[in-house]
Amino acid sequence: MTSGFHRLMHTISDEENCALEVQTFLKNKADKSVSDIFQSLSDCNFTLSEDFILNVLKRHRSDWKPAFIFFKWILAGENPCRYSPNTESFNEILDILGRMRRFDELNQVLDEMSKRGNLVNEKTYGIVINRYAAAHRVEDAKAFFYKRKNFGLELDLIAFQTLLVCLCRYKHVEDAEFLFYNKIIEFKDNIKTRNIILNGWCVLGNSREAKRFWNDIVTSKCKPDKFTYGIFINSLCKSGKISRAVELFQTMWEKGCKPDVAICNCIIDGLCFKKRIPEALEIFREMNERDCLPDVVTYNSLIKNLCKIRRIEKVYELLDEMETKGESCLPNARTYGYLLNSAKTPEEAIGILERMNGNQCKMTGDIYNLLLRLFMSWDDQDKVKSTWDEMERSGLGPDQRSYTIMIHGLYEGGRLEDALSYFNEMISKSMVPEPQTNKLVDVMNTLKEKGKESKKMEITKKGRKAKNTG
């Protein structure tokens, strides 16, 4: 290692800065041999700790090689303080290697963990299973489940369910279901396990298989629980089968399986999407009567759709109710975003912002961009400027969306020079324009050139006329 780096390592007291220097060093030494890097690291006089090792590793989550070299140096025992990492550091390097699909190296680390004693824990198991499933190495994932015994871990139901969850997460639902039925005697029939498979089919968007597996659950010895209903109701709503979802929702009440607020929200949102708002409001009323208290998501779903059909009086009635209830019902930025989207004048928008500020709801980048779009559409350039300035002061923008709004709005207002100025500023900040914006800029440049040519011709005509008159 260079003497400059060596001196710096002695003087840095901040662990964060020290980790940054190691990261920079590893990057600069990328073309050196592993033995050279080991020697340079050993020449340093920094103190290893679990937090420090994790800090260095987390800086290389998308760059496995330097992370692995650094970790191997620690394992080699060549570090001056002979520090031996614990399970947390091993898990971090396993996750990095698994993410980058370096399974040979991952197995080397697992072997090292075995040699060092009881280092493999449930988190280790979850990381490895998840990474195998993500890489679509189903057989490896299943094999690792059975290897639990080698690490002193039991082949229990929770570990089996973890395997099924990971397989379903990465679309291997058919494999997960086959494994479930294959092991149903060993791990017994369990509604939680069945819910994992049902959710897998639903997330995959396979309505036919989801319905088949739902029927399997209903006809089995397992009784559907709240989560079973919630999973299937959510799937029905997403596939547009809202009537069937409502029917199942009512069945829950009849069977004494009380829906939670998430299930109620799903039904309300599905009904609103189908423009069946009166029915959604009726379920909202029933929620209060049946002691299933609505939350901010419930109110937002209703407000969003009531704004679309301009039932503003009902919107503000719900808003008043939210403010009165407070806590989990307090309006958030999304609530005010729906209200702003329905505003018809700058004055109305300002009133909503004042109410938002009065409730101590913080501004977001999305709200600023919405205001820019609204004020541009109303051609209120003073408000556009003040919004832009405030967004800059707050540190919430401007972002790529902000510039896009300005460029398109200014073009529609005939202010080509200003629109191009914002485009150039956007490019200078290394923001990537949308294809539509690039096309618009090409049109503006063409119009600009035509304008110059037209002006030039006009000047020439005037010159000729003056000459002829003379």
Task: Give me the half-sphere count of Cα atoms (radius 13 Å) on the Cβ side of residue 256.
Answer: 1
pLDDT band at 436 (very low <50, low <70, confident <90, very high): very high
The answer to the question of residue 65 being in a domain is no
Are 139 and 172 in contact by the 8 Å Cβ rule? The answer is no
The answer to the question of residue 442 being in a domain is no
pLDDT at 203: 95
Residue 251 domain boundaries: 224-292
The total number of structural domains that make up the chain: 1
- Give 288's contacts (C-beta < 8 A, 6+ positions apart): 294
Distances (CA, A) of 402 to 154, 338, 377, 465: 54, 18, 14, 48
Distances (CA, A) of 330 to 67, 272, 294, 333, 361: 45, 21, 11, 10, 9
Q: For the packed helices 261-273 and 277-289, what is the interaxial angle rounded to 10 degrees?
A: 160
pLDDT band at 5 (very low <50, low <70, confident <90, very high): very low
CA dihedral 427, 433, 438, 440 (to 10 degrees): -100
How far the first Cα of the chain sits from its last, in Å, is 83
Distances (CA, A) of 347 to 83, 307, 468: 65, 17, 58
The answer to the question of residue 205 being in a domain is no
Q: Which residue has the tokens 């011709």?
A: 457
How far is Cα 99 from Cα 110, in angstroms, rounded to an integer? 15
How far is Cα 271 from Cα 88, in angstroms, rounded to an integer? 47
Q: Which residue has the tokens 């929620």?
A: 287
Task: Give the predicted TM-score (pTM) of the model.
Answer: 0.78
The answer to the question of residue 266 being in a domain is yes
How far is Cα 218 from Cα 222, in angstroms, rounded to an integer? 7
pLDDT digits (tens, 9 = 90+) for 274-318: 999 999 999 999 998 888 999 999 999 999 999 999 999 999 999
3-state DSSP assignment of residue 361: coil
The answer to the question of residue 448 being in a domain is no
pLDDT at 286: 92
The answer to the question of residue 51 being in a domain is no
**Residue of higher predicted confidence among 42 and 233:** 233
Q: For the packed helices 296-308 and 277-289, what is the interaxial angle rounded to 10 degrees?
A: 160
Residue 445 pLDDT exceeds 70: yes
pLDDT at 291: 86
The answer to the question of residue 251 being in a domain is yes
Are 322 and 329 in contact by the 8 Å Cβ rule? The answer is yes
How far is Cα 7 from Cα 23, in angstroms, rounded to an integer? 16
The answer to the question of residue 412 being in a domain is no
